[in-house]
Chain A
Amino acid sequence: MYKILKYAFYDLIRSKWSYVYFAFYLLISGSLLFLTGDISKVIISLMNIVLVLVPLIASIFGVMYYYNSREFTELLLAQPIRRSNIFLGQYFGLSVSLSSSLFLGIGIPFLFFGIFRSAEIWNFFILILTGVLLTFIFSALAFLVALQNENKLKGFGFMLFIWLFLAIIYDGLFLLSLIVFKDYPLESLSISMSMFNPIDLSRVLILLKLDISALMGYTGAVFRKFFGNDNGLILSSLVLLMWVIIPVAFIARVSKRKDF
């Protein structure tokens, strides 16, 4: 698996899209830092960008990468390697290269602004961590969707729908359910509902860490009351990790039975 990962990473990190993605983050975080000069505010602005953009880019790249390398995958399938190693290698190659663009693009401007001397270092760390986790989660979902759909258009459409649902529609439904059931105790419902959406969960994670009550939605408030800060952080990180592990396990399983 490591060998495939290595070459997939080499290939992807040299693609022009990796540079564009890197340059985008460099520009955004650089200019935000330059304009406001307030690290804490910039982290919150970047959070809003990262929570929407990272899942979208990982979804598109994941599906595109799978379909574009289909013929090469066939050549790899004819080599003496386990099937699951091929797909896991490609998946990790993709996730690692996207995460590097994100990490370097955001990290370099913050480094110049003296993040290591600032009190915000842990908040910055959580921002990067959720960005990386979301990259891993949505690339895995994209790989899984592409593996199960031979038709490119269907695969793309389905993955974009998943993104749209989790990034936008889910929140609407969440709010609606809170209004409809407002006469009942809603703590457990809202906690479990945010577990099922990695984007919401990442938001909770960052907000818990930033400790800004004004920005906390209902979920954040409930989370905080329920778990206290540290437990909430650990729980939401663990659930995010499960969001990586479960789709990756499915990639390994589905790839074993598929005809190419």
Chain B
Amino acid sequence: MKNVIEIQQLVKSFGKTRVLEGIDLNFEASRISVVLGPNGSGKTTMIKSVLGMVIPNSGSIKVLGTDIQGQWDYRKNISYLPQIANFPPNLTALELVNMLADLRGGNQHTRELIERFGLGPFMRIRLSNLSGGTRQKVNILLAFMSDAPVIILDEPTNGLDPVALIRLKSLIAQKKSEGRSFLITTHIMQLVEELADEIVFLLEGKIYFKGTVSELKGTFNENNIEKAIARILLTNNVA
């Protein structure tokens, strides 16, 4: 199967702390990969390295076959949903959508998404006056409106109500069936169970497990993911 992201020997330290200790990882096309790990395990640093926000000390990253070092144009192939939805307070959601569309170019599918998440009445209101949940829906709209083949979601369920959560899950499933690839980080195990084709477990900058949900359960002889992960943490004396 074709790899959309290939990471080789990725090393990153901030000052004296080594956050990523030589990671080798491939993400395949048209799959949902979930990256798990406790706080400080290097999840965000890895994702930010792929996006070019963090500059690695060594190692290489390829997105759709091209090395990303010093590049910026490759980011048109990636959509990103940041963890914190904090936008320019005095712009409206509509202006923000137009801005991103303006920056990215290409086709944008906004109308369908606005309807799906019931954002219609909020599009002309200043972003500072929207609730946290609505802002997260705007965040989702921004991440899904483009045609990018790779979608990276950092804690996508933050602040979502159950209805929006169900809509988000069906949206992810639909985009996957259209051939898009996902890289998701989350703390919600139920979401992992429902969506993940593949789990990557990071701990202290190393990969401790990579495989499917059932492989994870099988390896640690547990019938739910939470317990299996607790086992990884306990056996490595980090919890």
Chain B: interface size category: 20 to 34
A79 to B74 CA separation, bound complex (whole angstroms): 9
Q: Does A78 contact B (CB under 8 A)?
A: yes
Q: Which of B28-36, B77-85, B214-222 contacts A (4 or more CB under 8 A)?
A: B77-85
Report whether A78 and B53 are in contact in the complex, using a CB–CB cutoff of 8 Å: yes
Contact A80 B86 (CB under 8 A): no
Can you pick out 9 interface pairs between chain A and chain B where the beta carbons lie within 8 Å of each other? A3-B99, A12-B90, A70-B86, A72-B87, A80-B75, A80-B104, A81-B72, A81-B75, A81-B103
Number of A-B contacts (CB under 8 A): 73
Most interface-central of A72, A80, A259 (chain B CB within 10 A): A80
Q: Which residues 92-150 in A have Cβ within 8 Å of B in the complex?
A: none
Is A45 in the interface zone, CB < 8 Å from B?
A: no
Task: Assess whether B52 is in contact with A7, with CB atoms less than 8 Å apart.
Answer: no
Number of residues of chain A lying within 8 A (CB) of chain B: 26
Is A78's CB under 8 angstroms from B88's CB? no
Contact of B75 (CB < 8 Å), options: A8, A72, A79, A257: A79
User: B24-52, CB under 8 A of A: which get 1 and which 0?
Assistant: 00000000000000000000000010011
Interface residue B100 (Cβ < 8 Å from any Cβ of A): yes
Q: Which residues of A contact B48 (CB under 8 A)?
A: 259-260
Are B78 and A10 in contact, CB atoms less than 8 angstroms apart? Answer: no
Q: Is B102 an interface residue (CB 8 A)?
A: yes
Q: A4-B103, A11-B91, A72-B86 given. 4 additional CB < 8 A pairs? A: A71-B84, A76-B103, A77-B51, A82-B72
CB closest residue in chain A, given B139: A75
Q: Which residues of B contact A15 (CB under 8 A)?
A: 89-90
A79 to B100, CA, bound (A): 8
Shortest Cβ distance from A246 into chain B, in angstroms? 24
Contact between chains at B87 and A80 (CB < 8 Å): no
The answer to whether B51 touches A78 (Cβ under 8 A) is yes
Contacts of B51 in A (CB 8 A): 77-78
Q: Which residues from B are CB-within-8-Å of A257? A: 55
Within 8 Å of chain B (Cβ to Cβ): is A213? no
Task: Determine the chain A residues whose CB is within 8 A of the CB of B87 once the complex forms.
Answer: 72, 75
CA distance A14 to B95 in the complex (A): 13
